[in-house]
Amino acid sequence: MSSGVGILGLGKAVPEKVLTNQDLEAMVDTSDEWITTRTGIKQRHIADPDTAASDLGYAAAVEALANAHADAGHIDLIIAATTTPDMPFPATACLIQDRLKARHAAAFDVAAACSGFMYGVEVGKAMMAAGYQKVLVIGVDVISRLIDYKDRSTCVLFGDGAGAAVLGAVRPGYGILASEIGADGSGAMLLHVPAGGSRIPPQIQSIEAGQHYVKMCGREVYKFAVQIICESTERVLEKAGVSVDQIRWFVPHQANVRIIQAAAERLKLDADRVYVNVDRYGNTSAASVPIALAELVESRKLSEGDLILMVGFGAGLTWGSAVLRWGGFEL
Q: Which residues are catalytic?
A: 114, 253, 283
Site for ligand UT7 in 268-307 (CB under 6 A): 283
Q: From the list 39, 84, 284, 321, which residue makes contact with ligand UT7 (rule: CB under 6 A)?
A: 39
Binding mask of the shown chain, residues 178 to 207, with x at each position contacting ligand UT7 by CB under 6 A: -------------x----------------
With a CB cutoff of 8 Å and minimum separation 6, the contacts of 15 are 45, 46, 47, 48, 51, 56, 160, 161
- Taken in order 113, 119, 120, 121, is the CA torsion positive or negative? positive
State the minimum distance, in angstroms, from the CB of residue 46 to ligand UT7. 16
The reply to whether 156 sits near ligand UT7 by the rule CB under 6 A is yes
Q: From the list 53, 142, 166, 225, which residue makes contact with ligand UT7 (rule: CB under 6 A)?
A: 225
Which SS3 state, helix, strand or coil, does residue 78 take?
Answer: strand
One-character DSSP codes across 92-111: HHHHHHHHHT-TT-EEEEE-
Nearer to ligand UT7, 18 or 62 (CB): 18
State the minimum distance, in angstroms, from the CB of residue 116 to ligand UT7. 10
Phi, psi angle pair for 263, to nearest 5°: -70, -45
Nearer to ligand UT7, 227 or 246 (CB): 227
User: Which one, of 55, 48, 52, 61, lies nearest residue 12 by Cα?
Assistant: 61
CA distance 71 to 65: 7
How open is the CA angle 137-82-201, to the nearest 5 degrees? 155
Nearer to ligand UT7, 175 or 312 (CB): 312
Nearer to ligand UT7, 34 or 108 (CB): 34
CA distance 14 to 17: 9
Strand partners, 12: 163
Instruction: Number of residues interacting with ligand UT7: please give it, by CB under 6 A.
Output: 20
Site for ligand UT7 in 47-106 (CB under 6 A): none
Question: Which H or E run includes 10?
Answer: strand 4-13
The reply to whether 5 sits near ligand UT7 by the rule CB under 6 A is no
Query: In which region does residue 38 sit, left (phi positive, over 0), alpha (psi from -120 to 50) or beta (all else)?
Result: alpha
Q: From the list 88, 186, 219, 272, which residue makes contact with ligand UT7 (rule: CB under 6 A)?
A: 219
CA distance 72 to 132: 14
Q: From the list 3, 30, 51, 277, which residue makes contact with ligand UT7 (rule: CB under 6 A)?
A: 30
The reply to whether 222 sits near ligand UT7 by the rule CB under 6 A is yes
What residue is closest to ligand UT7 based on CB?
A: 218
The reply to whether 114 sits near ligand UT7 by the rule CB under 6 A is yes
The reply to whether 36 sits near ligand UT7 by the rule CB under 6 A is no
Nearer to ligand UT7, 77 or 259 (CB): 259
Contact positions toward ligand UT7, by CB under 6 A? 30, 34-35, 38-39, 114, 152-153, 156, 191, 218-219, 221-222, 225, 255-256, 259, 283, 314
